[in-house]
Amino acid sequence: MSFQQGLSGLNVMSKNLDVIGNNIANASTVGAKSSRAEFADLYANALSGAGSSPVGIGVQMATVAQQFTQGNITATDNSLDVAINGGGFFQLTDPTTGETVYSRNGQFKLDKTGYIVNDQGQKLLGYGADANGNVIQGATSAMQLPTSGISPQATTKVANEFNLDSREQVTDPGASASPRINFTDSTTFNQARSMTVYDAKGQPVSLSFYYQKTGDDTWNVYATANGKTLSGSDSAPTPIQTLTFSPDGSTVSPTTTTLSIPASTNSSGAATLAIDPVTWDVTGSTQYGSVFALTNQTQDGFAPGQLTGVTIGNDGVLLARYSNGQTKAAGQIETATFRNVQGLQPIGGNAWRLTSNSGDPIKGVPGSGNLGTLQSGAVEDSNVDLTGELVNMITAQRNYQANAQTIKTMDQVMQTLVNLR
């Protein structure tokens, strides 16, 4: 036994305690990954190359291996917090150096220009989206939320699905009557329902439908927009369509009608633009012996809106929410993984850079290939097992003491030799 073995043991145990201490220090660091000190024994080779001594000369630190196991996922109140559930890293670009780094820390925020950044000011990378909300996959760029609102869209399609009560009485007075229907007299029609559609400026227009039974399986349908009839004149309105049901009431014909909504003045006093053409679809409507029920009513127009928030889907799509109730994709996060994640070089700030040992990044959308899915409003906790690290610290301390004892013992042996007479 010599001092060499004990000294090498003290050195590596000291480094082991450094590794354990760093793990404990980052037990609450979001996205942090623990490390493990790995050792190798040392043997001296003979000068002639004929072999090595069977007695070792100590220990060395082989490597500090990173442990990329999944950390627990904790929900937060921030919609821009994102956790990766599975493999992969966020890609971030450093605005100072232009270097792309990789991180598991999804604590993101918006900077003053609308870019999604982390605490170090590094910008999150992903795919952009066009004006219609279509994600354009390909080259990645720094993700920036739109500052402008969403433009209005004029209504082009209206869909109603309903059941007209076959038991109701005929209210059509006949073509010879003038007027054939009076929109202020409910005895001249059976049912009426209203909805809101929008012109090209996003101004609301009140669209009403009136259902007038003309026979056992036929109904006249009239329509008004902002109180003005859509067919005929206000003094002599005519049906926009006559619906005919099958004898069992299960199908209706025709299912679509084209409407032309003229310019008028809405309830707020604003002059509305003409909306033309508008397709009215009644597919799925029935005439059964049950009370009138409107089971579906949709239209594709909307008013202008301002950005009110953003949510991130499991596939990384950023969905912008607007004050008019519309949503539109504003981009998609791209994540990356590596053949050898332990080959990544930690650079601090919860980030790694690629090396020749890690290989090139394998990129894709979250949930594809070996890439994990994203969870919005959550973060990935450190994977440090605090209890285990404390036990490891006690073990490392005992090993340090034992190596110190070997040096002390060797010192006593040497002192004994010096004292020989």
Q: Could you give phi then psi for residue 12, rounded to 5 degrees? A: -70, -35
Q: Across the strands, what pairs with 112?
A: none
Q: Using alpha carbons, list the distances in angstroms from residue 392 to 195, 302, 317.
A: 69, 62, 42
In the predicted model, residues of the chain with pLDDT beneath 50 are none
Helix (H) or strand (E) holding 136: strand 135-142
Is residue 30 within 8 Å of residue 350, measured between CB atoms?
Answer: yes
| Token pair 């059941």 in the structure block, residue | 163
Q: What is residue 50's predicted lDDT score, i.e. its pLDDT?
A: 55
Q: What is residue 52's predicted lDDT score, i.e. its pLDDT?
A: 57
The pair of three-digit structure tokens given for residue 229, joined into one six-digit string = 């009839």
Q: Could you give phi then psi for residue 400, rounded to 5 degrees? A: -60, -45
User: Cα 335 from chain centroid?
Assistant: 13
Amino acid at 365: V
Q: What is residue 280's predicted lDDT score, i.e. its pLDDT?
A: 98
Helix (H) or strand (E) holding 25: helix 3-25
Which residues lie closer than 8 Å to 155 by C-beta, 6 or more apart?
197, 198, 199, 205, 275, 278, 299, 300, 301
Q: How many CB atoms lie within 10 A of CB 35?
A: 20
3 state DSSP class of 394: helix
**Cβ contacts of 395-404, under 8 Å, gap ≥ 24:** 396/13, 396/16, 396/17, 396/20, 397/17, 399/9, 399/13, 399/16, 400/9, 400/10, 400/13, 400/14, 400/17, 402/9, 403/5, 403/6, 403/9, 403/10, 403/13, 404/6, 404/10
Q: What is residue 41's predicted lDDT score, i.e. its pLDDT?
A: 85
Is residue 199 within 8 Å of residue 272, measured between CB atoms?
Answer: yes
The pair of three-digit structure tokens given for residue 203, joined into one six-digit string = 């101004």
Amino acid at 293: A
CA-based end-to-end distance of the chain: 23
- Global confidence as pTM: 0.78
pLDDT digits (tens, 9 = 90+) for 95-152: 888 999 999 999 999 998 889 999 999 999 999 998 888 999 988 999 998 878 889 9
In angstroms, the CA 163 to CA 169 distance is: 15
Helix (H) or strand (E) holding 274: none
| C-alpha closest to that of 225 among 254, 256, 203, 252 | 203
Give the sign of the dihedral formed by CA 386, CA 392, CA 398, CA 399: negative
